[in-house]
Structure 1
Amino acid sequence: MLCLAITASLASFSTGLWASEPPFSATADTVFDIILDDDPSTFVCLAYEGRGTRQMWDKRQDDEFDLDTFVFSAHFSDMPPFEIVLNPEFETEVAARAEADRYGNRLGQIPLAFRHGIRRLGIHKGDEGFHAGSGKMFVYQDMATRRIGQKRLAESLLHESIHATLDNAYSLSPGWVAAQRQDDAFMTRYAQSRPDREDLAETALFAYALLRHPGRIPPVDSRDILARVPARIAVIRTILDTPPNVPSAPPVPEGCR
């Protein structure tokens, strides 16, 4: 009932939210390089756990399947490990590891406050857009290659980690909806098109840049962002400044590399 009430509240916003043109299409398509390749990472290693049946949603077929996946555990210094599972279409452990290796360090560069809810990263071949739900993220090899070429893979993973970690608690919460009302504007057209689903994930990257790496967005753009969504940046500041309650990282198993 709460979700229905808040969704109805979103629909009744002032027309200013839709009348004001956002400055960007989507966070992954901006010109800003927010997370750099040499930024510190809490990623430690990948351990191969063998083959195992896992459910994987596949955008290419718009359906979910039980697949005999390649299973790795991704270990970090600041949280318990989570699974990285790969579609059997990767064929060999060597090929699956080579693909999984592209994500661990970048995931460890995402702040723990945005990442601690991830339980599984699923990887397919193909060029579909990334997607995520509570605890789970799904990515596609060719799209990841494109994002690496654009220096946007870590930023795209941050967006999906918000869906996996924070959506349930925040995206329809009274506090976030109140901040949307107060700002009466969006950062991206993607957020504007789906304020109940994409606004938190779209705003988070801009807020993270200003709060943790202010020099990575030009001053004129920083001023515009701060003027446009100050209330939502304040909410994200509180999230970043509040250490999440997560168990300690267990010892790394033998053979983890």
Structure 2
Amino acid sequence: MPYRRADRMYPLPRHGRHRIAALGVSAMLAAAPAPMAASPEPPFDATADTVFDIIATGDASAFLCLEDRGREVRQMWDKRIDGERDLNAFLFVAHFSDSAPIDIVLNPEFGDTGSARAEAERYARPLGQLPALLRSGLRQFGIHKGDKGYHGGPGKVFVYSGKTDLRLSQDHLEESLFHEAVHASLDRDHARSDDWRAAQAADDAFVTRYAQEHPEGEDLAETALFAYGLIYRPGRIPPADAAAIRARVPARLAVLATILSLPPPAHDGTPACP
């Protein structure tokens, strides 16, 4: 995805674990000013390039273990060839305490099982830091080498190890995975729903330029991360920026408060990890 550098950068201190302070829809609306009369310039360029550490490295994770399943032919989308192909991929299964497992598949270019496992481990714990709802629709997590932007679609996310190096250096891997998991788990049911379209019309503004340029494909994923931060990680978005977000998209924040409070689908229970 063609993210651009954010216009505004703020130093943001690292935070320890926060108690989740879930807000109801009515509380969210009460905290938000009325929508602006004219469509203002978005305050941010893209969620991928903000410095807000909304999901901190030390936050709790539901990740339990990574199971080695050997090699298996899997179809993997790859931006480097702008298409899909069948590959004899390395296969691992990430197990979580509160959701179904996720297949982590790696391009054979990683060479050997040890290298592939080390790469898979970079994502397993951060995936467990996402809300279970966002993991619920993610069935395959694919990893390539290279530095292309991450890509998410129904049921699948594909990432690139070189881009991950950058995201880790920015303390932003978890937030990038959050964005792609929205595509995998929520887009199909919500990105073009009547409630979301009505909220877009009511707000008549966007929180990022990337969302503004791609209102159907990216607005939900872009706005959801900020909503999650405001609702579940209060204090990790500076007050002035939190006010700017609430001023522009109060209706969408209310819709997302409802979406993010939905229970994840039931799963078979905690696996016996090796």
Take 1:35 and 1:100, find their aligned partners in 2: how far apart are those partners? 19
Distance 1:41 1:17, change over 3 A: farther
> Which residue of the partner structure matches residue 6 of structure 1?
none
Over 4 Å off, 4+ runs: 16-19
5 Å matches for 1:69-218? 69-218=89-238
Alignment counterpart, residue 264 of structure 2, candidates 230, 244, 256:
244
CA distance in 2, matches of 1:114, 1:251: 20
Asked whether 1:57 is paired with 2:86, we answer no
Q: CA deviation at 1:246?
A: 2.5
TM-score in terms of structure 1 length: 0.90
- TM-score, L = length of structure 2: 0.85
Which residue does 1:227 correspond to in 2? 247
Distance apart, 1:249 and its partner CA? 2.9
Deviation at 1:112, TM superposition (A): 1.2
Change (3 A) 1:92 1:17: farther
- 1:31 corresponds to which letter in structure 2? V
1:11 aligns to what? none
Task: Render the CA deviation track for 1:43-84: whole Å, top value 9, x for unaligned.
Answer: 011000010000001101101100000000000000121100
User: Are residues 23 and 250 of structure 1, via their aligned partners in 2, closer, same or farther at CA, if it must alter by over 3 Å?
Assistant: same
Contact (CA 8 Å) 1:187, 1:225: kept in 2 or not?
yes
Is the CA contact (8 Å cut-off) linking 2:206 and 2:249 kept in structure 1? Answer: yes
| 3-state SS in 1 of match to 2:235 | helix
- Asked if structure 2 preserves the Cα contact closer than 8 Å seen for 1:179 and 1:232, the reply is yes
For 1:225, what is the secondary structure of its paired residue?
A: helix
Q: How many residues align?
A: 239
Shift of 1:17: 10
Specify the alignment match of 2:24 in structure 1: none
Match status 1:46 vs 2:61: no
Q: Which amino acid aligns with 2:256?
A: I
Once residues 39 and 235 of structure 2 are traced to their aligned partners in structure 1, the CA distance between those partners, rounded to angstroms, is: 30
Q: Deviations over 1:173-219 (max 9, x none)?
A: 11000010111110100000010000000000100000001110111
Structure 1: segments with no counterpart, 5+ residues: 1-15
More helix by share: 1
Query: What percent of counterpart residues are identical?
Result: 57
Aligned 8 A contact 2:51 2:172 in 1: no
